[in-house]
Amino acid sequence: MKPSIFGKLLAGVMLFLPLFAFAQAAPSNPDLRRIQVGTFQQAVNAERAFNTLRNAGLSPVYESHMGGRRVVLPGIDVRHLPFVLPMLSNAGFHNVWVREEADRLYRIQVGAFREAANAEVALDTLRNAGLNPINENHMDYRRVILAGINTRHISSVLSIVYNSGFSNVWLREEPTTSQFTIIVQGNAVVTEIQDTGSTAPLAIVQTIPSFGVAVTERTHHASAPLVFFFNDRIYLHSIAPNVEVTADGTPIDGTIVINEAANGFAVLTFTPSNPLLAGSEISIVMGYGLQSARGIHMLTDVGLSFVTERGSETDFVGNYGFEHGEIGVTFTGDGAIRTATGSLVPFEGNYYAAISTGRRILSDNVAQADRISQITLGPIPEPFFSLSFYYDFVSAEFNEYVGSRFDDTASVTVFGPRGTHTEIITSVNMVGTNNMPFTGHPGLPDGGDSYVGHTGWRNFRIENLDVGSPAYITFTVNDVGDSALSSVLAIDAIELGR
C-alpha cells in the first residue's frame, strides 16, 4: 500500500537533516523562520550557493527578487536554528538574514519543460513519491508545480522533492486573488466615468455557461471560455478589483477580453491562463463594485459556479471540413455534424458542424437553459497565426425582432497558453434585414411568425494570432434577451494559417 501524503511528510521531516533525526513531529503551529543566505544578480553565483547548501544536506530554494535570485531556506523550526546556523557558517555563509516565517501557502516549481513528455515524467515521479503535482502552462513551457503547500510543510516537502532527483526548485507565494490580463476590442469600455448614458444599474443579462441551469446540472467544457453579457458599457478600472475566479477554492489567473456587442454594450470573456482540470469546481464572482460607463454599479454580486467536464481527447487535426465526424470536436448543448438539410447545405464537401439555441433542432440534446450551445475544437497541437472559416447564421428572430434587445449572437474565441482572442462573428442586429429566406429545416421556426432568415455562407477571418499551443477554438451561439425563437450557427471549411 502506498504511504499517504502525511506519511511522506513525516518521512520528509526525518530526511531533512541527519542532525535532526531525533526530532519529534512538529507541533501544530510551530514557530518558523526563513533564512536568506544571499541575493545574487548573476545566476551562476546563485547556483553555486544553492549547490553548496545541497551538499551540506540542506534544502534551499530560489526566489525571484528585483531581477536577481534569492537563495533561501524556508520553514525552519526555531528549535533547529542552533544546528542550522553553524552548518551555514561551516559552509562559508557568515552573513545571513533570519526572518519570521508567515503562516501562508506557497507553490513550489519543480521544473519547466519544453517537451510535454519530460513534464509527464516529472509529474509521475512526484506522484510516485506521494505528492500531488499539477501542470501549468507558461509561454512555450510546461511548469510542474506543487500548489497550496503550507509553511509548516515546506521543509518536509522539499526533502521529498530533492530525494526524488529534482535539483533546481523555485518558491513563490500562492496568490490570494486572481490576476488578469485585460484586452479591450471595440468601444464597450470607458477609461473615465461619463456624464451621459443610462442611469440604470449595471447588470448581467446572460452568461456562458448559463446561470439559468440548475447548479446540480451545470457543467462546462474544461477548456471553454466563460462569457458575460452586460446591459451597458463598463468602466475599465472597476473590472479587475471586482472579478474573482477560483478552481476548487484557489484563485486562478487568466485573460479578460471585452468586446462590443451590436448594441454597443460589453461582452466579457474570461479564459484561464492554464487549462482547468476535468472535475474541478469553478466559481466566478462579478462583484457589485463593477460600474457602468456612467459609474452606476451593480445592485449585488453575481456568482456563477459549475463543474468542468472533459472534452475531446483527440487532437483537432485534418478535420477542418468535418468530413471525419467528431474527431477533435466537442459539443455543448444542441449541436452535431450535419449533412444538407433544407436551405442549409455544406459550403464544401458533405458535412458541416452546427449548434443551436433551441431544443433538439440539430441533435437529441437541448441548449443550456434553452439559450446557449458551443462547439470546441481542440486541442490543436501545432501553432497557427491566422484563422479562416465560413459560417451561415440562421435565426427565427429575423426579421420580426431586428433592432430589438433580442439580439441572438454568434462569437468565436481562440485561446492557448500565450493568451486569448475573442470576436463577435455576427448577430441578428448586425445582419439586420440583409438576410435570405430559410426553409425546409425541421424545428424551424419554433415560434413567432413563419419567417426564418439566414445569411448564407460568409467568410470570417482573424489575423495576427499568437496564442501558442496546444490551442482551442470555441464557437458559441447565444439567445440574448430570452429563450424563445431559436438561432443556428453553422461552421465549415476551417483554415489555420501557419
Is 227 found in the same domain as 80?
A: no
| Domain limits for position 360 | 313-497
Average pLDDT, the chain: 85
What would the grid cell of residue 231 be? 446591459
Last residue of a domain, one of 307, 325, 354: 307
Nearest to 335 by CA among 369, 367, 310, 371: 367
Spatial distance between the Cα atoms of 123 and 145, rounded to a whole number of angstroms: 9
Is 188 found in the same domain as 60?
A: no
Is 393 found in the same domain as 292?
A: no
For the chain, what is the domain count?
A: 3
Q: How many percent of the chain have pLDDT more than 90? A: 41
Is 321 found in the same domain as 298?
A: no
Position 403 pLDDT exceeds 80: yes
Is 158 found in the same domain as 120?
A: yes
Last residue of a domain, one of 278, 307, 336: 307
Last residue of a domain, one of 173, 198, 228: 173
Is 191 found in the same domain as 166?
A: no
Read off φ and ψ for residue 215, nearest 5 degrees: -55, -35
> Given this model, what pLDDT does residue 486 score?
92
At residue 211 the predicted structure's pLDDT band, cuts being 50, 70 and 90, is low
Position 297 pLDDT exceeds 90: yes
Is 155 found in the same domain as 30?
A: yes
On whether the CB atoms of residues 9 and 156 are closer than 8 A, the answer is: yes
Nearest to 111 by CA among 61, 46, 153: 61
> Given this model, what pLDDT does residue 177 score?
76
At residue 218 the predicted structure's pLDDT band, cuts being 50, 70 and 90, is low
Is 400 found in the same domain as 328?
A: yes
Is 342 found in the same domain as 302?
A: no
The residue with cell 440574448 is 480
pLDDT, tens only, 129-143: 888 888 777 767 788
Question: Lowest-confidence range among 170-174, 280-284, 364-368, 402-406?
Answer: 170-174
Cis status of the peptide bond prior to 3, with omega within 30 of 0: no
Position 25 pLDDT exceeds 70: no
Distances in Å between the Cα of 280 and the Cα atoms of 2, 221, 247, 297, 405 are: 25, 11, 6, 31, 35
Nearest to 395 by CA among 365, 437, 423: 437
Distances in Å between the Cα of 429 and the Cα atoms of 40, 122, 123, 392 are: 59, 52, 50, 15
On whether the CB atoms of residues 176 and 252 are closer than 8 A, the answer is: no
Is 368 found in the same domain as 240?
A: no
Is 368 found in the same domain as 324?
A: yes
Query: Which CATH number fits the domain that encloses residue 271?
Result: 2.60.40.1220
> Given this model, what pLDDT does residue 482 score?
65
On whether the CB atoms of residues 170 and 62 are closer than 8 A, the answer is: yes
Nearest to 403 by CA among 430, 426, 424: 430
Under 8 Å CB-to-CB from 156, ≥6 apart: which residues? 8, 9, 10, 11, 12, 13, 15, 16
> Using a CB cutoff of 8 Å and minimum separation of 24, what contacts does 77-80 make?
77/23, 77/26, 77/30, 77/31, 77/32, 77/33, 77/155, 78/30, 78/31, 78/32, 78/33, 79/23, 79/31, 80/17, 80/20, 80/23
Is 352 found in the same domain as 303?
A: no
Residue type, 215: V
User: Where does residue 461 fall: left (phi above 0), alpha (psi -120 to 50 degrees), or beta otherwise?
Assistant: beta
Query: Which CATH number fits the domain that encloses residue 493?
Result: 2.60.120.260
pLDDT, tens only, 343-383: 999 999 999 999 999 999 999 999 988 888 999 999 999 99
Side-chain half-sphere of 464: how many Cα atoms within 13 Å?
Answer: 0
Nearest to 394 by CA among 279, 483, 491, 274: 491
* DSSP class per residue in 27-96: PSS--EEEEEEEEESSHHHHHHHHHHHHHTT---EEEEETTEEEEEEEEEEGGGHHHHHHHHHHTT--S-
Q: Does an H or E element contain 125, and which?
A: helix 116-128
pLDDT, tens only, 308-317: 887 777 899 9
Position 418 pLDDT exceeds 80: no
On whether the CB atoms of residues 325 and 301 are closer than 8 A, the answer is: no
Query: Which CATH number fits the domain that encloses residue 117?
Result: 3.30.70.1070
Question: Lowest-confidence range among 100-104, 318-322, 382-386?
Answer: 100-104
